[in-house]
Chain A
Amino acid sequence: MRISLFIACYNDALFPQTGKAAVRVLERLGHQVEFRPAQTCCGQMHWNTGYLREALPILRHFVRVFADAETVVVPSSSCVAMIRDHYLKAAAMDNDPALAREVEALLPRVFEFTEFLVRKLGIDDLGARFTHKVAYHPSCHSARSLHLDEIPLRLLRRVRGLDLVPLANAQECCGFGGTFALKNADVSSAMLADKVRCVLNSGAEVITAVDNSCLMHIYGSLHRQRTFVRAVHLAEILACSEDESGGESVLAPDQHYALAEHSARVATETAQ
């Protein structure tokens, strides 16, 4: 299958390792992965903050970029929720039946990453190995909008060596909420504190989710508190395999990974 990856704007800039992991998993399964460099953002931040008019050209751009894609896979559930829950509404708001038709044609071909693996491909064992204690945070959009239910857990249970530990009050929001984290920073921080306490009490070494946005938020506090718990996107766990050399490289705490890559790149550039 030819899979078009929608990486999501914040993954592109902040968490490239997640996209790389998704590419690795999908290619390992024998699929052809493409990245359309014209892609930008799903428009969620503007839409959810009330900038509906400003979101329109962004989502139009998304529809245009992926109109002829065979399958679009997104390692970010909240972007998929934005597309599924709001794109048709946006077309109606703009009185644009042509856009509505294009959205309707595109929607059945857009999948969240884990949903694609389990629901579309029918695979829950990716042959991954990850020997750590892991807690799973069901992000609000993955649970309440996409209803991923057991999907991410099924994938995690098949990972060799992975010790899945329960997370108390797992369904409760981490307090990120996009611009909510800035507009209501105090409440957001208080919600995060409750979430982080549950993560620490779970005894997990790694907190995972299908959204880097929540993980960035949760890890923001874990890092500030100098804990040793790391945040790793589920795609990165699935990308860790026994049979590939250096398979556990993405295991390194994501930021350290980014840093190592950063220094390597600086070294190369300096050498040149």
Chain B
Amino acid sequence: MSLKRMILTLCGFYCVMGIMPLFFGGTDYIMNILIMILIWAVVASCWDVIMGFAGIFSFGQVAFYVIGAYASAILSVSMDIPPVFSIIMAGVITGLVGVLVGLPCLRLAGPYVALVTFAVHMTLVPFLRGPLGRAIGSGGSQGILTIPPIKLFGLAFSSDQLVPFFYLTFFLTIICTLVLVLMIKSYWGTAFLALKDSENFAASLGISAFKYKLMVFALTSFITGLFGALYAHYVGMLSTKMLSMDVFTILMIMMVIGGIGKYPGVVVGAVITVTLSQLLAPLGMYRPLIMGAIVVVLVLFLRDGIISPIIRLLSPLQRVVVEEE
């Protein structure tokens, strides 16, 4: 997709998102969904950049998200660091963990990467619940219950007042989305496309697969950790339930709906999936059952995600905008 089109689609989406609180600002239920859409849209975009563009089968996205959330929560609860700094530190920590996982992992062939990253995800649960996790302040199986809200210029952003928090998230989302778009369209993004098409040929042109993969791993895990931390300060409590397969599948449905490697697609996927999962929430334990079935059906029948049909529908409109410029 061309840069202009990508930016137009994203601009359209975020403009609509940005004016949403004017209509629904009073309804906490809808505001909560909107905030979660913003957070998940960025996390899913990071995954799409890793899987779709860099071609790394990373299954550790939820793990990075949780690492970021826990890192910020532990820093702000146990060490009294103000949340604004702890969120940034959590991003840096997650980025470092990403590099640590990536160093051995990215030399491996495709399915091994999936396995190792997924194993990291699975190991986080016993780690956070066990004595090691409790020693660093993860709260064991109970989790962390009193995470302070973000305070900035004397304003408190918390789940009590959703509209300010929405705009804080919105601001961060736009910055991170811009970074991702710039990355996809820069030399990096082109290098990834070349690596995906033919690794040997790309290597012969002097593109180091390992270097670029490690860099994208670090960048996406940094952003994911940042948003995990934001989420932690938003809900105010954390437990290892976030690592359940349920959450993982929701993230995966976003990718399948949006289409792997069709970048702005996952953003649309996030909107649909978060809304759907909130609507299905009263079903209790039948929700993951239905979610699992949805994944199977969507993977079978939805080949490229739904972004391509949407773009086709919107293209007359976009053409008008482009011509006016």
A, B co-complexed = no
